[in-house]
């Protein structure tokens, strides 16, 4: 289980940006909050629209900004459609910009301010990286959110997990049904990873189902019917 250690880095004061309070709306959302408060690392898996990423960002930013327990939130994604993204022209920021759009939107919701994500990045409170650029780094004093984890290959998940340093927690969000891999054997990376962390005492693995969908009535109806027809 994660043991709190005082962060080494100086904390940044966030002026004019107030993180709104988020309360769990379903039983599994409440379980996520409870297990996080116990100091567990989290694997949040399951239905689309169940608020996994929003909750992960809220818990992380709350501890970074309000409780000052960590210096930053590090969001890690994989470039599914371009595994060789490092060969594309442009800076790291330019290459990863399209992958950051969901977090701009989520931060706008969490802070009621469209400029929140840009400010938090400039202040060093949020760091975004693709797995392509993660090798050789050590992530200390951070909360690491591995998002869309079902799109990661095993070697990418292994790389991220072995980058975690002192005073660091991890929250992993994924859903095999939302994987962009074309073939079932390509999905084994996340499936095998899930089997590993389920056996680690410091992890709590929470399965989100149909009853946890909070995005909207149509989303819930669509997913239920997709499952009924064996398409999800």
pLDDT at 127: 96
9 neighbors 166 (Cβ within 8 angstroms): no
What pTM value is reported for the model?
Answer: 0.86
b/e burial code for range 55-65 (CB count within 10 A of at least 16 → b): bbbbbbbbbbb
Chain mean pLDDT for the chain: 86
- Tokens for 72, please give them: 């930053």
pLDDT of 11 reads 40
Which stretch of DSSP H or E encloses residue 44?
strand 41-46
Residues of the chain with pLDDT under 70: 1-15, 80-92, 178-187, 232
Q: What pLDDT shows up at residue 229?
A: 87
The whole-number pLDDT of residue 136 equals: 81
Which residues fall within 8 angstroms of residue 138, CB to CB, at 6 or more apart?
163, 165
Instruction: Tokens for 15, please give them.
Output: 């002026």
Residue 104's Cβ-side half-sphere holds a number of Cα atoms within 13 Å equal to: 9
pLDDT at 7: 47
How many Cβ atoms are within 10 Å of 125's Cβ, its own excluded?
21
Residue 26 and residue 32 in contact, taking contact as beta carbons nearer than 8 Å: no
Residue-level pLDDT at 108: 96
Name residues whose C-beta falls within 8 Å of residue 173's C-beta, 6 or more positions apart in sequence.
44, 45, 52, 53, 56, 145, 146, 147, 148, 149
Radius of gyration of the chain (CA): 17
Distant-in-sequence, close-in-space partners of 101: CB < 8 Å, separation ≥ 6: none
Contact call for residues 148 and 103 (beta carbons, < 8 A): no
């Amino acid at each position: 289980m994660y043991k709190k250690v005082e962060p080494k880095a100086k904390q940044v004061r966030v002026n004019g940006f107030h993180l709104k309070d988020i309360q769990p709306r379903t039983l599994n959302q409440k379980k996520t909050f409870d297990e996080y408060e116990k100091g567990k690392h989290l694997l949040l898996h399951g239905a689309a629209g169940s608020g996994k990423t929003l909750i992960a960002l809220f818990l992380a930013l709350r501890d970074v900004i309000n409780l000052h327990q960590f210096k930053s939130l590090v969001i890690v994604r994989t470039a599914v459609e371009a595994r060789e993204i490092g060969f594309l022209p442009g800076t790291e920021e330019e290459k990863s910009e399209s992958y950051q759009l969901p977090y701009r939107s989520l931060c706008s919701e969490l802070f009621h301010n469209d400029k929140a994500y840009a400010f938090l990045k400039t202040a060093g409170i949020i760091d975004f990286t693709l797995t392509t650029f993660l090798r050789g780094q050590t992530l200390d004093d951070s909360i690491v959110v591995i998002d869309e984890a079902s799109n990661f290959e095993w070697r990418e998940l292994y790389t991220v997990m072995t980058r975690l340093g002192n005073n660091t927690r991890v929250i992993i969000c994924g859903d095999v049904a939302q994987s962009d891999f074309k073939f079932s054997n390509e999905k084994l990376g996340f499936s095998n990873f899930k089997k590993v962390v389920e056996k680690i005492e410091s992890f709590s693995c929470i399965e989100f189902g149909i009853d946890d969908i909070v995005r909207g009535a149509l989303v819930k109806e669509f997913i239920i019917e997709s499952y009924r027809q064996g398409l999800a």
